[in-house]
Amino acid sequence: MKTRATLILLALFLSFNVGFAQQDEECIINLTLMNDFVKNKKYDEAYEPFMKLRESCPKFHSAIYSYGERILKDKIEKTTGTEQVNFINDLMKLWDEGLANFPDKYTAGGILQDKAMLKYDYKEALGYGNKQVYDTFDELYKKAPESFTNPKGLYIYFSTIVDMYDAKEVEVQDVFNKYDDVIDKIGQEIDNYTQKLNPIIQKEEAGETLDARTAQYKKQYESYLENYDKISGSIDTKLGILANCEVLVPLYKRDFDKYRNDSVWLKRAVNRMFNKECTDDPLYVELVKAYDESSPSADTKYFVYNLLMSQGKEKEARPYLDQSYDLETNPLKKSQLAMRFGKSLRKQGNFGAARNYFQKSLELNPSNGRAHAEIAQMYAASANNCGDDQFSKRAVFWLAAAEARKAGKVDGTIRSYAEKLAASYEGSAPTRSEIFEKGNGGEVIKIGCWIGLSVTVPKI
């Protein structure tokens, strides 16, 4: 059968190419052999025809490089020492050859990312230290940031510079700068996949059935978002105690005069001081004022708002919150701002205003399940205050559970958490026996106070 298939391929090739040469025949035969061996995972047998193709007819077919990658990776896994290093270097050489011969199939940035990951995976065999590992990812970040999309790679990039700091090879400011770079990059990728996911979520919310291809895209986008979310948490953990007030305050005091007009430096300093709750230090006030003066924006107005709130100037602070929201034009960033405002108002106990901002966040980013989860938690926290009797108070938990279910439906990154939250709330709602005793199955209960909604008692 293999001979027959080869003859058919030869006949087809001859019919389109009168000048068919002996070399072309050998290329077809080797391509067929390589294809058969790789599909049957006989990589050792595939190596010889692969190498012949690579040397004699490198432009013959892109499979030389896609299948060759599998063949060489198998060799790398099975070998050690110098032999393994030679195969590692040969795989990197193969990627370069693939780019040169099939530029429509490869990108320089993609190859840089593949090389960086390969060098990290085999850093011990290659004899690489932290600096060499870091430099490979740094080259990718500087030369082709658009191709630096691997969540694991982004974590390695940051983690390695922390290890370099521990070894006294870099200063703490270098770590903070790289943290900001990587977090910004992760934010860009999250925005990218969120924008792709939102239209799919909107289709589902409208009751449309997703076709197989769209459902697969949804799964892929949610997977990337979940991985980026995990990596963000891991990066914060890796940063650890380095970013605390005892380190940040003297560092920023030292550099403030030098960077007082640098909006990027000020933004990062204010953000870190705010996130690490170093806002009681007088330096924070100076940083916020300088940031707002140098580059008024949605961010600066929000920090001024928080600053005034911390000083007890609530009436003076509120306009800055509205200014911040109005100044932002990017829908996803505006959604994030709305979430930030909602959380701030929730902490103040202003649940009604907080829900408005969480709902605004959802209008701008329908796949933001965290907004639904925040609303669910506020409903649950208000159960004792928003019912007329014990039954209606506990009925509030049905609203909370329904909102938590929405969170898991639209946002795969928190689906497990949302389902547990919903189950917990359902466990606090009236039981079937209580509904039976009350005899109100199917009735609509109005929930008062700030919630202002109705809930239907389940029929039993």
User: Domain check: are 377 and 454 in the same one?
Assistant: yes
User: Domain check: are 457 and 367 in the same one?
Assistant: yes
CATH code of 289's domain = 1.25.40
User: Domain check: are 360 and 460 in the same one?
Assistant: yes
User: Domain check: are 385 and 310 in the same one?
Assistant: no
What's the CA dihedral at 194, 197, 201, 202 to 10 degrees? 80
Q: Quick one: DSSP state of residue 96? A: H
User: Domain check: are 407 and 309 in the same one?
Assistant: no
Asked, for residue 350, whether it belongs to a domain, the answer is no
Q: Would you say 364 and 335 are in contact if contact means Cβ atoms under 8 Å apart?
A: yes
Asked, for residue 202, whether it belongs to a domain, the answer is no
Asked, for residue 81, whether it belongs to a domain, the answer is no
The H or E element containing residue 453 is: strand 453-456
* Domain containing residue 317: 244-327
Asked, for residue 211, whether it belongs to a domain, the answer is no
Of 327, 346, 364, the one marking the end of a domain is 327
Place of tokens 């012949």: 52
Q: How far is CA 167 from the centre of its chain?
A: 29
User: Domain check: are 360 and 459 in the same one?
Assistant: yes
Asked, for residue 320, whether it belongs to a domain, the answer is yes
**Model's pTM, two decimal places?**
0.74
pLDDT at 11: 47
Of 281, 308, 327, the one marking the end of a domain is 327
Q: Would you say 356 and 375 are in contact if contact means Cβ atoms under 8 Å apart?
A: no
Asked, for residue 422, whether it belongs to a domain, the answer is yes
pLDDT at 381: 96
User: Domain check: are 363 and 317 in the same one?
Assistant: no
Q: Among candidates 404, 356, 406, 405, which has minimal Cα distance to 381?
A: 404
Radius of gyration in angstroms for the set of CA atoms belonging to the chain, rounded to a whole number? 29
Contacts of 398 (CB under 8 A, 6+ apart): 425, 426, 429, 455, 458
At 44, list the tokens.
Answer: 């050792």
Asked, for residue 437, whether it belongs to a domain, the answer is yes
Weakly modelled stretches of the chain, pLDDT under 50: 1-2, 4-8, 10-20
Q: Model confidence over 364-393: pLDDT tens digits?
A: 999 999 999 999 999 999 999 998 889 999
User: Domain check: are 322 and 367 in the same one?
Assistant: no
3-state secondary structure the chain: CHHHHHHHHHHHHHHHCCCCCHHHHHHHHHHHHHHHHHHCCCHHHHHHHHHHHHHHCCCCCCHHHHHHHHHHHHHHHHCCHHHHHHHHHHHHHHHHHHHHHCCCCCCHHHHHHHHHHHHHHCHHHHCCCHHHHHHHHHHHHHHCHHHCCCHHHHHHHHHHHHHHHHCCCCCHHHHHHHHHHHHHHHHHHHHHHHHHHHHHHHHHHCCCCCCHHHHHHHHHHHHHHHHHHHHHHHHHHHHHHHCCHHHHHHHHHHHHHHHCCCHHHHHHHHHHHHHCCCCCCHHHHHHHHHHHHHCCCHHHHHHHHHHHHHCCCHHHHHHHHHHHHHHCCCHHHHHHHHHHHHHHHHHCCCHHHHHHHHHHHHHHCCCCHHHHHHHHHHHHHCHHHCCCCHHHHHHHHHHHHHHHHHHHHHCHHHHHHHHHHHHHHHHHCCCHHHHHHHCCCCCEEEECCCCCEEEECCCC
Domain count, the chain: 2
Asked, for residue 13, whether it belongs to a domain, the answer is no
User: Domain check: are 449 and 367 in the same one?
Assistant: yes
User: Domain check: are 460 and 360 in the same one?
Assistant: yes
In angstroms, the CA 41 to CA 223 distance is: 28
pLDDT at 76: 98
User: Domain check: are 367 and 458 in the same one?
Assistant: yes
Q: Would you say 371 and 408 are in contact if contact means Cβ atoms under 8 Å apart?
A: no
Q: Would you say 371 and 362 are in contact if contact means Cβ atoms under 8 Å apart?
A: yes
What are the φ and ψ backbone dihedral angles of 104, each rounded to 5 degrees? -80, -15
pLDDT at 336: 92
Of 327, 348, 380, the one marking the end of a domain is 327
